[in-house]
Amino acid sequence: MVMLNCPDSVYPHKLRRLYWPFLSLAEASPAVHGTVAGSFTRNGHRYTIPRFSFRGPSVGGTPIRLGLFALIHGDEPAGAHALEHLLARLAEQPELATGYELVCYPLCNPTGYEAGTRHCRSGADLNREFWRDSELPEIRILEHELRTQRFDGLIALHADDTCEGSYGYSHGRALDDALLRPALAAADRVLPRDRRATIDGFAAREGVICDCFRGILAPPPEQGTRVFNLIFETPALAPLPDQVAANLAALEAILATYRGFIAYAPNL
């Protein structure tokens, strides 16, 4: 197990409260590995973007590598707590991640989370900056991760304070759509789905949006459509435990569904 080597002074109190449960998991479970994706300094304070990984039981060959991202917007903590719960569940039930290597980034926007704001401390919306030659250190760190980790799939967890229920973005791709719909169905058991015809300014059908904003977290351009890319949104005004449970249900549904696709693919 690789442990993070970051002094307490790096993390103000609010960041430590979010961060230490992940460290405790990495300390208690040899299957959870904590490392650092990168760090940067702003206004004299050093901030770190942590990375926690879990490798499930092998089925032979190379595992399916998924990148899971939360707190890209600093005022959307449910996704981070869901990743904590997911890692804790996998530590107890590793078979849920059979054939997978999951790499979790629970704190993509540490300055925004510290301030309780959507944007980072410099005032930028990180989820409009990817692959646009951004100079923001958070984006440079995450883009480096997206390039070097070579993920097979990406899942970004968000919350929307204008929505009426859970929904997601499939980017108009058949695979994304096929993974997102079971995720929404699983989350329906916890929170209602947003079934409006227009969500977040885009046309939607049964909680699935095909279009999206520019500059969102996405695979590197050179990887093209080889990587599935999902955004799952919970209603930010719902109770936090319900948002966490909905995210967790969605994540587990995606893992089960994609594993089925991979198992079926050789017979196509």
User: CATH no. for residue 203?
Assistant: 3.40.630.10
What strand order describes the sheet that includes 167-169?
32-42, 45-55, 100-105, 64-69, 153-160, 228-235, 167-169, 208-209, 202-205, 198-199
| Buried b / exposed e along 48-66 (16+ C-beta atoms within 10 A) | bbbbbbbbbeeeeeebbbb
Compute how many other C-beta atoms are within 10 angstroms of the C-beta atom of residue 260.
11
Cβ burial of 19 (10 Å; 0-12, 13-18, 19+) is buried
| pLDDT tens digit sequence for 209-240 | 999 999 999 999 998 778 999 999 999 999 99
- Per-residue pLDDT at 7 exceeds 80: no
Residue 264: what pLDDT? 63
197 three-state secondary structure: coil
Residue 71, domain member (yes or no): yes
| pLDDT tens digit sequence for 90-148 | 999 999 999 999 999 999 999 999 999 999 999 999 999 999 999 999 999 999 999 99
- Per-residue pLDDT at 164 exceeds 90: no
Residue 1, domain member (yes or no): no
| pLDDT tens digit sequence for 26-84 | 999 999 999 999 999 998 899 999 999 999 999 888 999 999 999 999 999 999 999 99
- Do β-strands 228-235 and 198-199 pair in parallel, antiparallel, or remain unpaired? unpaired
Residue 23: what pLDDT? 93
For the chain, the average pLDDT equals 92
Residue 99, domain member (yes or no): yes
Residue 266: what pLDDT? 47
Residue 135, domain member (yes or no): yes
- Per-residue pLDDT at 6 exceeds 60: no
Residue 188, domain member (yes or no): yes
Residue 104: what pLDDT? 98
| pLDDT tens digit sequence for 241-267 | 999 999 999 999 999 999 888 776 544
Residue 2, domain member (yes or no): no
Helix intervals (H) in the chain: 13-28, 78-92, 110-115, 137-149, 174-187, 240-264
Q: Are 50 and 105 in contact (CB under 8 A)?
A: yes
Residue ranges making up the domain that contains 169: 8-267
- Per-residue pLDDT at 194 exceeds 90: yes
| pLDDT tens digit sequence for 75-105 | 999 999 999 999 999 999 999 999 999 999 9
Residue 3, domain member (yes or no): no
Residue 265: what pLDDT? 56
Residue 40, domain member (yes or no): yes
Residue type, 23: L
264 three-state secondary structure: helix
Report the number of distinct structural domains present in the chain.
1
